Structure formats: C-alpha cells, structure tokens
Amino acid sequence: MRIAWGPAGPSDGARGRRVAVTGMGVLAPCGTGLEAFWDGLCQQPPPGPARRVEDFDPVASCGPKLARQRDRFSLLALAAAQMALSDSGVEVDPLRAGVVMGSGIGGMITMEAQFDVSRAKGLDRVSPSLVPTIMPNAPAATISARFGWRGPSQTMATACASGAHALAYGAELVATGRCQAVLAGGTEAILSPITLASFANMTVLSPSGQCRPFDSRRDGIVLGEGAAVMVLEDWEAARERGARVHAELAGAASTSDAYHITAPSPEGEGAAVCMELALADAGVDPGDVGHINAHGTATKLNDVAEARAIAKVFGTPGPPVTSIKGVIGHTLGAAGAIEAVATVLALEKGLIPPTAGYGVPDPEVPLDVVAGSPRPWEPAPALSNSFGFGGHNGCLVFLPAVP
C-alpha cells in the first residue's frame, strides 16, 4: 500500500507498511459472527421488503446503559468492534490506536421516534440527547470510549461507499505509521417507516421483495441493516506477536463520478478508474485478480454500469463475480465493510459465495456471475467494490495471508 494513493502518489512507487487484517466482526441479516454469516451467505434468503439482524440483543451485547443511550446503528457497530477485537487479540498503545467508521445516514430510528414525541407531547419533551445520539460519528465515538483508543477517531459519510472508505482510510493510518492498529468498518440501521417510505417513493425498492443482482428480472433493492468491523494492524507487528492474519489489505482507491446525486455514470467511467487505482495501489495486475465482490444492487442502472466498468478493466467476462446483496439486502453505509468481510472469508475458505436470486442472465451484464452454490477457487487477489449515491466510488484489494 502506497503512502499516497492514486496517480498523484510517489513516482518511484514508494510503499508504506503492509496492512494485516487480524480481526473481524459482523452482524448481518443472514447471521451474526463469522461462521454464521458465512453459512447464511450460502443459503437462499426469505423474500420480504427488508432484511433485519433478528438475533441482536443490544442489552446483552452492549449493556443496559448504552442500550438506552445509543441508537441501534451505534450499538451494532460496538458489537461488531467487540467481536473484531476478540478475534484479533491485539494490544496496542492507546495513542497509536485509531477508529474509523462509516455510516450513510445515521440514527434515523431515534430521529423518527423523537419526531413522534414532538408531535404527541410538544417540542419541550424532545430528548436533549437527540443530536449526539443520531450524529453519524456516534459509532466511532462510542467505540473509542469503550476501548480507550485515543488515536484518530473519524467518520466517513459517503453513502453506500462509507464502509469501504472507512476501511481504506483506516488502512492508510496504518500504512503511514500513524497507527499501529485501527478498528475500521461500517454500520447502518435505517429500517424505519419514513426511511422505507422514502426509498419506496424513489421507486428503487423491489416490488417483489427479492433482490436479484445482475439477473435480467431484477427490479430493485431490498434494504438491510447490519455492521462489520475489521482490526487493521501493522503487518510486521502482527507477525511478531504471532497473530492470526486473515488477509492483507493491499490497496484501496476512491473516485467520484461527478455525474448525478443518485444515478451512476452510465458507462461506469468513475468506477473503472477506481478499480484501476486500487489495483495499482496494491501492485496487482488486472489479470491476477481471481474474484470480484461486486456492489451489485439489483437495480437496472447500477448493475449495467458496474458490468461496463468491470469490462473496461478486466475484459469480458472477467473474473468470477458475486453480489451478497441477494442475501443481506442493501445495508447502505455498512455494505462496503460487510462485503469486505465476505471477500476475506472467500479467501480463507477457498470458496466464492453465490449470488442469491441470480438465474436468468442479462445480455447487458456479460459477467461470470457465481450462482447456485459456492464455487471453489484458488485464492488470489480479490477486489471489493462499493458505489454510492452522489457518485462516490470505493474499491479495496485483499490478498491471501502469506508472509
């Protein structure tokens, strides 16, 4: 990973420290914890307008006090961070330990509840804790305070690319030596009436309640909630302490379509450049990529634009592609982090999870879509794509954990 990413980086190819993924935590509609999450990715989800994390108990995970004081998106994030730290076992100087979290929307559940309070009881009954509870940086602040990590504590709010951008910036903090370890990821909990109504009135929700990425029958997204956090650690320090390394986060990039507030650039130019920059940052040739975890939202425009971007970089059909949104739905600001965990698990297990809902190919999407059942593969560099409203693009490159 270079100290400066992209074409403005050092011309001599100077590189920063290697970044190891030593811990992962995930709460997703298909399962909580790494093994349950993986098992869920390999099964067909039930149809419905939304995908919830049904087995999450905020009191048991975060304690009764925080369960009262924090919005669900912060509680999901804290639970994922606790899992990641337990998985990693890292101990670090608090001043060299950072937290970077992403969220696309923030505390909408609390916001809606306080709107109801204001209408029913008056404005003087609105909670004085409303703003600190709903602010997008609440998860990062909550995690930092819980674990006493006093390095950088920052938040990415770039719509559906937020989780990927948080991991990218967290990796940069490690690669440059500012931090020895960073907790980075994304979280979202927006399954509330007003939010669901907004997406429905935008006509992007699937009328069938089925998310079918890249399928010719796709008719829109299914919303989901969840959180995922990774421990990103200096490679040499991780090896020195005998840590288990899940994978290496070797490259990342960010670009903007500069096109439209919701629609992607039709030809996928911004997404293609983002993939190219991430691969260059990792020192990986397109021909060496063995798998792409796609953004794959199951909307007509997004899937075609992403397919065109992939074709620009890799040719047709390109590496095997999957979208886990067919199972978990679209978790917005958490999507990039949850999908990054799925990408690393694919590396570790030597299996690519299938794209649920895919069955009828679309001529406009000439990709090698993994479907039906997990596909065995020889782990190789893997790319995880995240693209968001506003034209935000984020791409991550993971390598198998080898010395």
At 3 the pLDDT is: 52
The helix/strand count (H/E) of the chain reads as 14, 16
Average pLDDT over residues 170-185: 97
Candidate list 30, 160, 274, 395, residue with the active-site label: 160
* Alpha-carbon torsion (261, 265, 266, 271), positive or negative: negative
* pLDDT digits 0-9 by tens, 25-36: 999 999 999 999
Show Cβ contacts of residue 394 under 8 Å, excluding neighbours closer than 6 positions.
Answer: 158, 161, 164, 165, 168, 252, 253, 254, 274, 336, 385, 386, 387, 388
Token pair for 198: 């907004």
pLDDT surpasses 60 at 132:
yes
Candidate list 165, 246, 291, 330, residue with the active-site label: 330
Residues in a beta bridge with 321 = 292, 369
Active site residue 330: yes
pLDDT surpasses 70 at 11:
no
Cα–Cα separations (whole angstroms), residue 367 to 42, 311, 312, 323, 342: 20, 8, 12, 12, 19
Candidate list 165, 246, 291, 295, residue with the active-site label: 295
* Alpha-carbon torsion (268, 274, 280, 282), positive or negative: negative
Q: Is the pTM of this model over 0.85?
A: yes
Active site residue 160: yes
For the chain, give the percent of residues with pLDDT over 90. Answer: 95
d(CA 386, CA 26): 17
**Residue 366 is which amino acid?**
P
Average pLDDT over residues 251-255: 97
At 163 the pLDDT is: 98
Average pLDDT over residues 90-95: 97
Strands 392-400 vs 247-256: parallel, antiparallel or unpaired = antiparallel
- SS3 for 48? coil
| pLDDT level of residue 2 (50, 70, 90 thresholds) | low
Give the H or E element holding residue 378.
Answer: none
Of the candidates 291, 17, 292, 274, the one whose C-alpha atom is nearest the C-alpha of residue 171 is: 17
Name the average pLDDT for the chain.
Answer: 95
CATH of domain 19-400: 3.40.47.10
Verify cis geometry, omega within 30 degrees of 0, for the bond prior to 317.
yes
| pLDDT level of residue 49 (50, 70, 90 thresholds) | confident
At 12 the pLDDT is: 46
Average pLDDT over residues 341-362: 98
